[in-house]
Structure 1
Amino acid sequence: MMPEAVGIQIENLHKEFADKRVIENLNLNIEAGSFVSIVGPSGCGKSTLLRLIAGLETPSAGTLKKTSEKELNFSFVFQDPNLLAWRTVYENVRLPFELNDQLKKLPADKQDKRIVESLKKVHLDESQDLFPHQLSGGMKMRVSLARALVNSPRLLLMDEPFAALDESTRFEMQRELHSLWQKERMTVVFVTHSLFESTFLSERIIMLKGVGARVVLDQKLALPATREESLRTTEAFNKIVEGLSERLRA
């Protein structure tokens, strides 16, 4: 039986770097199993918030709690795939088993099974012997995603993972990510600059602006649960994007 997804409760969160106030008095509740996008202009605190959730940064004040703190619950996908050039796709996805003390304890056959399953989820099982220089940008990002999935995360944090991809590849990755989220029902917190991307992927969009990462919009989206490509050209979709754009410019 799959473990429950992870919820996040944030109360009066503050984060400062030297004399720079990045996040001030932030309050959010992210439901377990939801797909939430964080949007806003550059420098508004989106990535800092994600790093605080991941435990890569420590709050200056306030509380940030997860409904489960199990060691293997979380994965982080960065904008850069960060693949090791001298390792194959399989060997890159295997990296968490070498770095994580809990994963190291798994028998070799179970490690192999998890790696193969993760590669199948991102449609790379037939490319496992290739090296990074033989991969397209989209394939490299799939490797990064597969590496994040080998520990069966119940919380997946993503910091603009598709920003560097061409539009066609980005659309394809968005569809695959949304489909994967529907199957796995992990909690996803996704940072992006793209209002179109956040609208296509998310159940809920949170917009941050200004000094202190002020929440200026927190909106649940009235869109179909399954996101087909045709959704991008519908009136409902474009009305949401238009409303987000107006709020961003306000």
Structure 2
Amino acid sequence: MKQENSFLKIIWKAGKKDILFSIPWLPIYSLSEIILALSAGTILQLVFVTTPRIQVSELIPGNFKDYVHFHQVIDRRDLIFIIPIFIIIAALIKLISGFMSSYLTERAGHKVAHSLREEMLKGFLSSPGNILDQKNPDATANQLMQDTALLQGAVSKGTISAARDFVVLVGIIISMLIISWKTFFIGIVIVVPMAYSLRKISQKLNFYTREGQKKQIGISTRILSTHNGLLTINALRSHEREKKDFENLNIKNYYFMKKSLFVRTFFSPGMEFFATFILAAIFSWRLSFTENFQSGTYSSMLILLAFSFKYIKNIAGTITFFSEIKVVLHRVKNFIGDFSKTGHYKRPSPLPNHSKEAVIAHNVTYKTESGKIILENCSLKIEKGKKIAFIGESGAGKTTFLRSLAGLIIPSDGEISLTADFLLASQSPYIFRGTVKENIIYAEQGIPEHISDDKAKELVLALMLSFSDSGSQLILDKKLGFLGDGLSGGEKARVALARTLFASPKLILLDEPTANLDSISANLFWQAIHKWKAKDSEHTVIAVSHSLNEVKDFDFCYVFENGTIAKQGTPQEILNYV
């Protein structure tokens, strides 16, 4: 229930202003539409009147005469001039009121979609690793965009637009009942099966539209997959297979769109022809078999009936749309519910600046949802200015413990406190598309440009990405492709480290940063870490490593086994233990 309230609260908060402002336009739009229909009926009625002077009351349809009392006699030529002017004014009012209500509801839809995306993205980015690990980021992002786009349409169609169509339809029904209730029920016999048919056609149209979008997304995904796997395709010499798969997908989409073309293009003109045919048939019937033909009544009734087709179709489409969007609503509510829990997790608390420790962990335990114990009662204290290593076999729990320190994984039990000024560097650094400089200063873009340039150059030289001032500028201006295309693995690791060091943290957490590097690149990486460490006595390094030899010059080591800290001591003591 709380999840439902949170979801509705986001929608209402984002769209309420525009929705409330659009409500007053509804009766104006409805009234102008009915006046237009009655005016069109009056114009049609003049076809059957041949006298040069006409009593206005004769033009008032059906029982409306009981509510509107006009006994003036007006020249027929004057009426032919006055009524079109009246229609133009009513059409202008309808145009303005329709534009305002549509604009406000579309804007409300955009605001709601933006708020939902913002809420979902905020929850996604601030969620712990044990939640994120269960999600596919690419699939989540695509699903998020599709779902919020559909909900944007739901807000636009399902709020004021649907209410406007309903109000107009109710106004038309009331007008028809006042004019002639008998003719109205004859119309119902025609309209009800027509509405049912329209609903079925609308469902078919929505199906073709939705499936067409899915196939387009499938083609786009295939192209992206081909681009990302181009090296593999070349290596396996699978060009012909990839080409054939893509052609098959494209041909299937072509045949599907061709199949749906008739339904999608025939619908609107087909309905207009059908409506015209029905009107002509009823007029013919009244003229042929009825002596007492009240042209005002029947012309107005038939025009109102013709006007109602559009709104019946819109309402039927809205009902179909909402019946199909239930799954999307449920999925978005669940998504927000999953990530709204983030604020309730107990994250690591910051240590005061005067604290001598950089990290304090007490009885840290982590269990998966299935009950598997990954960490069990792990406790330690790490002083500022130390170089600490977590070592152990794969699956021992060292990386999980490091991610717990970073707040990426929320422990099931225990407490963690650490210096607030820390950053984490992973073994697979993410390099953005752009220049090397843009990657390095990513987290600190608010500082003056001349300071950022000098600091970035200093890091490039320190990390031995270049060996001269002019060379460092060339490196900083170098443009990188997708995922850092243009850099070697070692250069990517050092650019990522430069980005970390640029933010000037006091504590660096390293998750097997050299796992994918050759020995030369790994040595350069550790040299840069040691240089950074020597600049400040409070700089602290915590690194996860498989190799004890790699951290032999560290101050202290913790050996993890089966989720516990099995041994601790200097690298030499640990080496003797092993």
Indicate the TM-score class for this superposition, using the shorter chain for normalisation.
0.7 to 0.9
Please point out which of 468, 492, 504 is paired with 1:152: 504
Residue 227 of structure 1 aligns with which residue?
Answer: none
* Structure 2 counterpart of 1:12, one-letter code: N
- State yes or no: 1:97 paired with 2:444: yes
* Structure 1 counterpart of 2:363, one-letter code: N
**CA deviation digits over 1:79-134, x for unaligned, max 9?**
012112x3121111122135xxxxx4x44444444433433332336121223333
Distance 1:155 1:74 in 2: 4
Please point out which of 398, 406, 410 is paired with 1:54: 406
Residue 42 of structure 1 aligns with which residue?
Answer: 394
Matches within 5 A, 1:58-77: 58-66=410-418, 68-69=419-420, 73-77=421-425
TM-superposed deviation, 1:20 = 1.5
**CA deviation digits over 1:143-192, x for unaligned, max 9?**
00000011100010000001111122222322332232222441111001
* Structure 1 counterpart of 2:564, one-letter code: R
Higher mean alpha-carbon deviation, 160-169 vs 128-137, is at 128-137
Q: 1:6 to 1:140 in 2, by over 3 A?
A: farther
TM-superposed deviation, 1:55 = 1.3
Matches within 5 A, 1:144-183: 144-183=496-535
Residue 196 of structure 1 aligns with which residue?
Answer: 549
Distance 1:110 1:174 in 2: 26
TM-superposed deviation, 1:241 = 7.2
TM-score, normalising length: structure 2: 0.35
Q: Say which SS state the counterpart of residue 140 (structure 1) adopts.
A: helix
- State yes or no: 1:17 paired with 2:368: yes
- State yes or no: 1:81 paired with 2:443: no
* Structure 2 counterpart of 1:95, one-letter code: Y
Is residue 8–residue 64 contact of structure 1 (8 Å, CA) maintained in 2? Answer: yes
Distance 2:515 2:561 in 1: 20
Is residue 8–residue 31 contact of structure 1 (8 Å, CA) maintained in 2? Answer: yes
Q: 1:12 to 1:241 in 2, by over 3 A?
A: closer
Distance 1:42 1:177 in 2: 24
Is residue 159–residue 190 contact of structure 1 (8 Å, CA) maintained in 2? Answer: yes
**CA deviation digits over 1:190-214, x for unaligned, max 9?**
00111111214x111110001xx21
Q: Say which SS state the counterpart of residue 485 (structure 2) adopts.
A: helix
Residue 456 of structure 2 aligns with which residue?
Answer: 115
Percent identity, aligned pairs only?
30
Residue 576 of structure 2 aligns with which residue?
Answer: 243
Q: 1:6 to 1:123 in 2, by over 3 A?
A: farther
Is residue 557–residue 574 contact of structure 2 (8 Å, CA) maintained in 1? Answer: no
Q: What is the RMSD computed on CA atoms of the aligned residues? A: 2.3
Q: How many residues align?
A: 212
Q: 1:165 to 1:241 in 2, by over 3 A?
A: farther
* Structure 1 counterpart of 2:440, one-letter code: V
Please point out which of 1, 4, 7 is paired with 2:358: 7
Matches within 5 A, 1:215-230: 215-221=565-571
Is residue 196–residue 241 contact of structure 1 (8 Å, CA) maintained in 2? Answer: no
Which segments of 5 or more consecutive residues in structure 1 lack a partner in the other structure?
99-103, 223-239
TM-score, normalising length: structure 1: 0.76
Is residue 23–residue 45 contact of structure 1 (8 Å, CA) maintained in 2? Answer: yes
Q: 1:28 to 1:141 in 2, by over 3 A?
A: same
* Structure 1 counterpart of 2:441, one-letter code: R
Distance 2:499 2:550 in 1: 22
Q: 1:198 to 1:92 in 2, by over 3 A?
A: same
Residue 378 of structure 2 aligns with which residue?
Answer: 26
**CA deviation digits over 1:46-102, x for unaligned, max 9?**
111111111112121111112x33xxx111111012112x3121111122135xxxx
**CA deviation digits over 1:10-56, x for unaligned, max 9?**
11111112112111111101111100000001111111111111111
Residue 87 of structure 2 aligns with which residue?
Answer: none
Q: Say which SS state the counterpart of residue 14 (structure 1) adopts.
A: strand
Relative to total residues, which structure has the larger helix share, 1 or 2? 2
